Amino acid sequence: MMMMEVTTTTTANPTKLDYHDDMWKFHSVSSFVSFFQGEDGRCALILDSTIFYPQGGGQPSDTGFITISSHPHFKFIVNDVRSKDGIVFHYGFFENSGEGFESKLEKGVQVLLYVDESRRTLNSRLHSAGHLLDACLGNVGLGYLEPTKAYHFPDGPYVEYKGSVPQSEMQMKQKELEIEANKLISKGGKVSAAILPYEEACELCGGCLPDYIPKGSTPRIVKLGDTPGCPCGGTHVADISEILSMKVRHRRNMDGVGDGTIKLGTVPLRRRDSTTASLSTANSNLPGPNLNLSNLIIAFSNKGFTAKELVALSGSHTIGQARCAVFRSHIYNDTNINAEENTRTEDVA
């Protein structure tokens, strides 16, 4: 097996962060700089510029893949992205390993980048929801709380604040925040991000910047509609309305209340529920139990869902819920069902 070239990165220039200029670009062209193998055995590609977001600022990394147009079999799957000293490491593996792809990577060779769009879109929604919650605090009389930590991962996003809210008011404030956030979502508003001179950034953020932004630096400021700007390196939705809907929950700290911090969970919802019911729309829009796969895919895509989301949603709806009468005709009458599977299914059932 060919030895992998291990390149040190001390000489590499900082990676140009293309997602700073365009947060909604999922394909791009860049050029290869070096191949890196860390002490932990993980391989990484270092590129001249990237649209891949490296984990940081409370936002998870992007995933996706990288190809070279001159080598059709070359595909590097990116499963983690990190940034160190301004250099972005695209960690992952070659899809067809053993073909010596490392040797095809010459400095300057053109590479094509593909970011997983659905993962990025969710991460951007969660990140924007955190900022929106923050922007709403002042409107419900909680502007004195000081944000200390933000976590925008899908497994339980929250923003943590220093300060306290009387226990008796917490529930009401939480509700007010939720109403306020959803009001701004319904109204919508352009989201923008720009790297600005310190003074200009100050002005946009309501007159001052947090202490961790060095004086005289040029911070990147993200602004959601008319709300005050906020220094941020992450990715966001293009319009506040794309957050769709949000729930606000007061999350108790592990050690109970009273440690001087408040955790407010942000839970952006997938869709808004209808306020009216319609039998005919339900009958014509909802996919029935007898639809075959291609019709199911069509029915879900009519509502903007991918085949992957169809599988996830169907799975979570069916487990423990479907009666055998509903799928019996499929199992015994469909021609593409393996007869052996019938017997096995009977055993399990």
Binding site for Zn ion (CB under 5 A): 232, 234
Estimate to the nearest angstrom the gap between the alpha carbon of 261 and the chain centroid: 26
Minimal CB distance to Zn ion: which residue? Answer: 232
Shortest spacing between CB 58 and Zn ion, in angstroms: 7
Nearer to Zn ion, 12 or 181 (CB): 181
Estimate to the nearest angstrom the gap between the alpha carbon of 7 and the chain centroid: 31
Shortest spacing between CB 221 and Zn ion, in angstroms: 10
Residue 243 is given by DSSP the state G
HEC profile for 182-232?
HHHHHHCCEEEEEECCHHHHHHHCCCCCCCCCCCCCCCEEEEECCCCCEEC
Nearer to Zn ion, 66 or 129 (CB): 129
Nearer to Zn ion, 68 or 221 (CB): 221
Nearer to Zn ion, 45 or 232 (CB): 232
Catalogue the E-assigned strands of the chain: 16-17, 27-37, 43-47, 49-50, 64-68, 71-84, 87-94, 110-115, 146-151, 158-162, 191-195, 220-224, 230-231, 246-251, 261-268
Nearer to Zn ion, 229 or 234 (CB): 234
Shortest spacing between CB 143 and Zn ion, in angstroms: 18
Shortest spacing between CB 230 and Zn ion, in angstroms: 6
C-alpha closest to that of 65 among 54, 76, 53: 76
CB 230 within 8 A of CB 248: no
Burial of residue 339 (CB within 10 Å: 0-12, 13-18, 19+) is exposed
Shortest spacing between CB 59 and Zn ion, in angstroms: 7
Q: Tokens for 267, please give them.
A: 């839970």
Nearer to Zn ion, 68 or 193 (CB): 193
Shortest spacing between CB 233 and Zn ion, in angstroms: 7
